[in-house]
Structure 1
Amino acid sequence: MAMVLQLTTFLQQYLYSRPDIKALGKEENAVRLGIIGGSAMINAASIIHPVETHPGVKILAVASRKLKDAQSTAKKYKIPQAYGSYEELLADPEIEAVYISVPNGLHGEWAIKSLQAGKHVLLEKPFTSNGLEARKVFDIAKQSNKFICEAFHWQFHPAAHVVKSLLASGKFGDIKSTYARMVTPKNTIPGNDIRWQWALGGGALMDETYALHATRYFVGADPETLLGTDIKPTIVNASSKPWSKDKRVDSASWADLRFDTEDGKVINSKIYVDMDQPNLGYIIPKAWQLPSIQIECEKATIYFYNFMMPHIYHYIAITDKITKHTTYQKHYNYGPKWQEIGDPHWSTYRYQLEAFADRIRGKTPLHWITSDDSIAQMETIDQIYLKNGLYPRPVTSEVQEER
């Protein structure tokens, strides 16, 4: 049953990434991309199909720990080269950028090795195992004169920019509080899944880090706070439900956060993430609830449903506090940043790829996940883990050697 639920999730992503739509051809100077972590289930939706629709990007190679896995992926998606090790792909001089989708705990290690090999990097979330490692990765990027972007794909979508612009307009007054949640029904993630492994960066707060990221992004949109992308809240309270098979891993986490504005105001935020949401009455599985965030302002409450995958389905509900009237919005393209760039079929990953390719080719991307943002995100996760007693995830060997 668990595997069925998991496969259904990826099937949904696959179908809505529109694999039937292809670019008519590739540009002569198309970005030459390689995939590190070729057997990851997410690759089809997150990078392969977006590349197929982008005339300015092409995938030259895929690498897995096992050559047969890389060959299988290469054959299925008509990728020219398959490598049986990540090192071989990084040694390929034709590849100028890599997409990394290895397990969480290996993100930092392979980001560093990729940058040192002279590749630009699109790195899956969470950025690294902890804040220390995040800082090290960006130090290496600066030394290598290459750039790296955390693949928080949701934030590249027009719907996210619309919500942020609504908050920044000041029309609804100051942000007073937020509540973000992301839950996965019980038994959806098999017990042998790497997301349960502490040493590989497992746990609800790490894997379902979108709830915290959305909170930080939208709170930073308040025009009265002057908070930037590097904002880090005070952790007022944090608790977790340890996984039954490894008490170091959180199957669920809760946190109360406080953002202090420069003018003395306070924004109170709550997050709830759960990789094993209990059944109703311990028997009946709960319906799958897509990630959402509620933002309470002085004059209205804004509810953004499915902020993580808005290209599949979403809505933005705005409820006036006085009239109680609710209006609804949906935005699958356009928006304040992209304007006429993009199509309704573009997924969050496709918008992300557009920005990534633009930067490689010397253009200014219309949206970007900054180094300050990624570092602040990981350092906030560290603080939540310290508060709930589970402690940050371990660093990789490259960082430990220089401590």
Structure 2
Amino acid sequence: MAMVLQMSTFLHQYLYSAAHIVPIEKKSPMLIRFGVLGSSAMINPAAIIHPVETHNECVIAAFASRDIKDAEKAVEAYGQGVAKAYGSYEQLLADESIDVVYIPLPNGLHYEWASKALDAGKHVLLEKPFTSNAEQARKLVAKAEEKNLILLEGFHWQFHPAAHALKAKITSGKYGKILRSESWMTTPAGSIPKSDIRWKFDLAGGALMDMTYVVSSTRYFLSAGTPTSVVSAKSRPLKTDPRVDSAMEAELAYNLDQGQVKSKIVADMDRPNLAFVLPRMWELPSIEIETERAVFYYYNFMMPHLYHYISITDKKTGKTTYEKHYQDNSAWSQQGEAWWSTYRWQLHAFVDKMRGREPLHWVTGQSSIDQMETIDAIYTKAGLPLRP
């Protein structure tokens, strides 16, 4: 289902950005210049190209690929007449005009190239998962802090108004203490070819790595760092490489100020079809949080700009109410537009940070370290090796 979401958001971004492109001549004269490592990454149009097209303070100034032809194709498709094509990542990093490097490379290359970008004096927008393991995460955050450079892990979904509307309810105290949570994300069996990089152990593949959103959503809504313990973790190993998890299910225990909370996470990158033939297309990434007085359910927290709903069930009356938040009167939503995707909200925050303005939300370096420490702990509990 994640693949369907990704394709849907590509279409969404194409349609909306086409109607809201800011011509280069109308953009700010003091542009933030982005360089993209990995010109042919499938995520590029939705995650960076279309959001940048609609922002008046930034531009994509370069694409780099290990094949210059791929970079040239990306420049031609971008079409704003300002981007260069580079036939190596090193050449782009050597370009002194580049301010920020966006990295959508395979998981196992995140640390290497983010580190090299920081060494080159570039700010970094890094796709999730942050690194291959927690040790790399700690080193990367330390380097960014030492060099006073911006480093952001691209958990785009956290920047959407719906996520903040739900968290505000949970933390308001109106519904009592959090008791438990359950987050899940699945992809129908056979939808990801076995040749895909997400199945490669040496490239830090696996369901928990690719579907790291289940850990991110749990930690975000619980306002938690690392779990006190991983109570249980069970993987369904890939048949051709048992080091790689095609699915992971775990129970995490958090000792919060309000007491202990048990959290279940399910990541399945090869979800068996119903009756062997029917893909579970309705299983969008979702999270349920139970408090003393209510049960919250956030459907499609990963791509809420496409469609989402938040249900709130009162445990005393049994009554369920529903909400959607694309734009409202909150301070958060007043800064954006209802058609903005999660990636466009994320870019808005990144540019604010670059300009010295206070973003309304940020994924801190410590949060990214906590994220990778949690993933490492789950792999260890499941008896799988950490990603190299």
* TM-score, structure 1 normalization: 0.92
Matched, 1:63 2:59: no
Partners of 1:217 and 1:113 lie apart in 2 by: 29
Confirm whether residue 131 of structure 1 aligns to residue 131 of structure 2.
no
**Match of 1:243?**
238
Q: How much has 1:262 moved relative to structure 2?
A: 3.4
Instruction: Determine whether 1:280 maps to 2:274.
Output: yes
Question: Aligned in 2, Cα 1:270/1:10: closer, same or farther, shift over 3 Å?
Answer: closer
Corresponding position: 1:356 with 2:355: no
| Alpha-carbon spacing, 1:202–1:170, altered in 2? closer, same or farther (3 Å) | same
Shift of 1:142: 1.8
Q: Distance in 2 between matches of 1:298 and 1:52?
A: 45
Question: Is 1:297–2:291 an aligned residue pair?
Answer: yes
Q: Which digits, 9 at most, give the CA deviation of each residue in 1:65-118, with x for residues without a partner?
A: 111111111111125201111100000011011110000010011010000000
Q: Deviations over 1:322-344 (max 9, x none)?
A: 11111010001246451411001
Matched, 1:169 2:167: no
**Alpha carbons of structure 1 residues 9 and 217: separation in structure 2 relative to 1, 3 Å:** closer
What is aligned with 1:13? 9
2:185 is the alignment partner of 1:191: no
**Which residue is equivalent to 1:42?**
43
Query: What SS does the corresponding residue of 2:244 show, helix, strand or coil?
Result: strand
Q: Deviations over 1:183-204 (max 9, x none)?
A: 0000111110000000111000
User: Secondary structure of 1:340's partner?
Assistant: helix
Amino acid at match of 1:383: A
TM-fit CA distance, 1:43:
0.4
Which position in structure 2 is the counterpart of 1:387?
A: 381
For residues 235 and 295 of structure 2, the distance between their equivalents in structure 1, rounded to whole angstroms, comes to 28
Correspondent of 2:365 among 344, 368, 371: 371
Q: Which residue of 1 aligns with 2:109?
A: 106
Q: Which residue pairs with 2:255 in the alignment?
A: 260
- Give SS of 2:63's match: strand
Q: Secondary structure at the match of 1:19?
A: helix
Give the residue type in structure 1 aligned to 2:349. A
AA aligned opposite 2:325 = H
Instruction: Indicate the SS of the match to 1:259.
Output: strand
Separation in 2, partners of 1:334, 1:371: 29
Q: 1:298 to 1:243 in 2, by over 3 A?
A: same
Corresponding residue of 2:22 = 23
Distance 2:240 2:329 in 1: 45
Cα distance in 1, alignment partners of residues 2 and 166 from structure 2: 29
* Alignment partners' CA distance in 1, 2:205 and 2:331: 34
Q: Percent identity?
A: 52
SS at match of 1:47: helix
Q: Which of 127, 140, 145 is the equivalent residue of 2:143?
A: 140
Counterpart of 1:82 in structure 2 is 85
- The aligned residue for residue 397 of structure 1 is none
> Retained in 2: the 8 A contact 1:6–1:189?
no
Task: Quote the Cα distance in structure 2 between the aligned partners of 1:334 and 1:128.
Answer: 35
Give the corresponding residue for 1:92.
95
Q: Over residues 240-289 of structure 1, what are the superposed CA-to-partner deviations in whole Å (9 max), with x where a residue is unaligned?
A: 000111110000000001111235x2111100000000112333333241
Cα distance in 1 for partners of 2:121, 2:192 equals 36
Q: What's the counterpart of residue 340 of structure 1? A: 334
Question: Is the partner of 1:307 in helix, strand or coil?
Answer: coil
Change in CA separation of 1:73 and 1:36 when aligned onto 2, cut-off 3 Å:
same
Relative to the length of structure 2, the TM-score reads: 0.95
Per-residue Cα deviation, 1:335-357 (whole angstroms, up to 9, x for no partner): 64514110011000001001111
8 Å Cα contact 1:162-1:335 kept in structure 2: no
Q: Answer with 375-384 or 335-344: which moved more.
A: 335-344
For 2:244, the aligned partner's letter is V
Inter-CA distance 268–185: structure 2 relative to 1 (3 Å threshold): same
Change (3 A) 1:219 1:8: closer
Distance (whole Å) between structure 1 residues aligned to residue 329 and residue 377 of structure 2: 34
- Equivalent residues of 2:2, 2:187 under 8 A apart: no
CA distance in 2, matches of 1:336, 1:214: 21
> 1:401 maps to which residue?
none
In the alignment, the residues of structure 2 paired with residue 19 and residue 262 of structure 1 have an alpha-carbon distance, to the nearest angstrom, of 43
Quote the RMSD (CA, aligned, Å).
1.4
Cα distance between partner residues in 1 of 2:180 and 2:4: 34
Consecutive unaligned residues of structure 1, counting only runs of 5 or more, are: 221-226, 395-403
Query: Is 2:227–2:255's contact at 8 Å kept on the other side of the alignment?
Result: no
Distance of 1:301 and 1:130 partners within structure 2: 33
Structure 2 counterpart of 1:23, which letter?
V
CA contact (8 A) 1:158 1:337 kept: no
State the one-letter code of the partner of 2:60. I
Gaps of 5+ in 2: none
**Counterparts of 1:217 and 1:7, CA distance in 2:** 23
Matches of 1:233 and 1:100, distance apart in 2? 32
SS in 1 for 2:17: coil
- Structure 2 residue 150 is the aligned partner of structure 1 residue 154: no
Deviation >6 Å, runs of 4+: none
Q: Deviations over 1:15-72 (max 9, x none)?
A: 2122312125210112111111111001000000000110011110011111111111
